[in-house]
Amino acid sequence: MMNSGMRVGLIVLLVLFGTSLAARAQDGAGDLDPRIVKLVASISEERLGNILKKLESFETRSTLSSTTSTTRGVGAARQWILDEMRSYSPKLQVSFDAYQVAPQGRITRTVDLRNVMAILPGRSPRRIYVSGHYDTVARPGGQGASNASGGTPPADPDARTAPPADPNAPLDNLAPGVNDDGSGTALTIELARVFSQSGIDFDATLVFMCHAGEEQGLVGARLHAQKAAAEKIPIEAVLNNDIVGNDRGGSGIIDGATIRLYSEGPEDSPSRALARFVQRWGGRYVPSHKVRPMARPDRFSRGGDHSAYNQLGFTAVGFRESRENFTRQHDVRDTYEGISLPYLAQNARVNAAAAATLALAPAPPSVLNDRNQPMITRAPSGYDANLRWTASPGAAAYRIFWREAWGPDWQHELLVGNVTNLVLPNVQIDDYVFGVAAIDAHGHESFVNAYVTPPRASTPIKVVGQ
């Protein structure tokens, strides 16, 4: 707390003395926005705990559970989530994102599937999502037995109810799902509260999305991403949270100080750029919590809603707790006792810092020309790095990043003014990866767009006589 206060003071001093953005950028901490510091600090462990207890009280939130009860099952749960988010602020537009899903795969009968969506409109239509899935599942033996057996779960005497033999019957067995994914849901709901009550006028539109149908194959996320692609809704980033509330690994190792962040490749894809952004800005606002980017889409043979967005060309990443306890997943033992509220709150703070920074920053500049080629050359000497980019609306400056063309993390950065071209003399473009981010007049930075050549299609060579 002392540190944040000192940094806030530093910004005020520098602004008073009219110090340039370039000088402020010398010290990364000077880029902190006191309004974001305050927003991050307003996340409440107590509220997260109360949301989790309420979610647990529905006993099951299976997408296939019955919807007639007002106190038990998915229908009661989604209505409570809707009403809760509606109570936060008249600025929040809360609605069901509803679909009639035909039987397919693990959807055994026609289902009225509803994501619960809260939109906080910004000045521009570009959207930043924070998400979790509120649906649950519990199977005999759960994820622990599935892992231990190498994939074939044995029958488990701890499972209180077996799934119904009749595919048309509701799947009403106990499935508390407090960590999977009550944790991501509570985080999303709490961020809807702090963002809508912050009084900050964001540039981007923020969407707080509680998905359904994740456990049947990312169904709710896929339906929403499909709709967004068809309607050309400009989703710029998705921060998905799934299993982010437990710091005690089933192996006995405890880690409450780090969070894993999975992202779709290849190495300079927008998804990887978003992961680096979260590491950079989450780390600045929440230095006591370490983001561990993972250069892979997800854990082995596990999935999550961020992949549904990535597969349709949107930029999405997935947060996962660092040490999982598999015996408490997809299992009747996924209860409130398995949660660490301080850990969940730290993960919520990292999400909040990243989403707020991104929503206040300009959109990232494009580094591609109209033929989709990166605007990077060796001119004028033939041995220089000559970078061009397209001006981003609202940008007051740009920051150039580069690193040797081996390794994931940026090594160098340089703040430049409100220009769209930079020449680094005698820097060989073949040896480095370059990228550029847009920055507004208050230092809010976008994620980095990198100069990478799109893969070329191979054309078969014709041979005479064949």
* Residues of the shown chain interacting with Zn ion in the complex, contacts defined by CB under 5 A: 180-181, 242
Strands 235-241 and 127-133: parallel
The amino acid occupying position 200 is I
Q: Tell me the closest approach of the beta carbon of residue 363 to Zn ion, in angstroms.
A: 30
- Would you list the DSSP string of 396-434? SEEEEEEEESSSSS--EEEEE-S-SEEEETT--TTTEEE
Query: Distance (Å, rounded) from C-alpha 227 to C-alpha 230?
Result: 5
Query: Among residues 220 and 256, whose Cβ is nearest to Zn ion?
Result: 220
Nearer to Zn ion, 172 or 180 (CB): 180
Report d(CA 368, CA 451) in Å as an integer.
8
Shortest spacing between CB 239 and Zn ion, in angstroms = 15
Distance separating alpha carbons of residues 136 and 332, to the nearest angstrom: 10
Pick the closer one to Zn ion by CB: 59 or 180: 180
In angstroms, the CA 420 to CA 144 distance is: 53
Q: Which of 308, 241, 295, 299 is nearest to 269 (CA)?
A: 295
Rounded Cα distance between 95 and 333, Å, is 31
Name which of 59 and 135 has its Cβ closer to Zn ion: 135
Q: Which amino acid is at 271?
A: S
**Radius of gyration, alpha carbons of the chain:** 23
Nearer to Zn ion, 31 or 242 (CB): 242
**Would you say 421 and 465 are in contact if contact means Cβ atoms under 8 Å apart?**
no
For residues 113 and 395, which CB has a smaller minimum distance to Zn ion in the complex? 113
Angle made by CA atoms 258, 432, 276, in degrees to the nearest 5: 20
CB of 302 to Zn ion, least distance (A): 9
Minimum CB separation from Zn ion for residue 293, in Å? 20
Q: DSSP letter for 104, please.
A: B
Rounded CA gap, 30 and 361, in Å? Answer: 16
**Minimum CB distance to Zn ion smaller for 172 or for 242:** 242
Query: From the CB of 133, what's the least distance to Zn ion, in Å?
Result: 6
CB closer to Zn ion out of 180 and 203: 180
Helices (H), 87-125: none
CB of 248 to Zn ion, least distance (A): 18
Residue 79: CB minimum distance to Zn ion, A: 21
Q: Please, are residues 116 and 79 in contact by the beta-carbon 8 Å criterion?
A: no
Cβ nearer to Zn ion, comparing 60 with 449: 60
- Taking CA atoms, 199 is separated from 35, 39, 194, 272, in Å, by 9, 10, 9, 31
With residues binned 3-state (H G I as helix, E B as strand, rest as coil), the percentages for the chain, rounded to 5, are: 30, 20, 50
Pick 75 or 177: Cβ nearer Zn ion = 177
Evaluated on CA atoms 8, 416, 403, 278, the torsion sign reads positive
Place of tokens 């999982």: 324
Q: Which amino acid is at 130?
A: V
In the complex, minimum distance from the CB of residue 77 to Zn ion, in angstroms, rounded to a whole number: 15
**Amino acid at site 224:** H
Q: Which residues pair with 207 in a beta bridge?
A: 119, 129
Task: Classify the C-alpha dihedral 327-333-338-344 as positive or negative.
Answer: positive
CA distance 434 to 413: 10
CB 217, min distance to Zn ion, A:
12
Which residue number, 84 or 298, has a Cβ lying nearer to Zn ion? 298
Please identify, using beta-carbon distances, which residue of 134 and 208 lies nearer to Zn ion.
Answer: 134
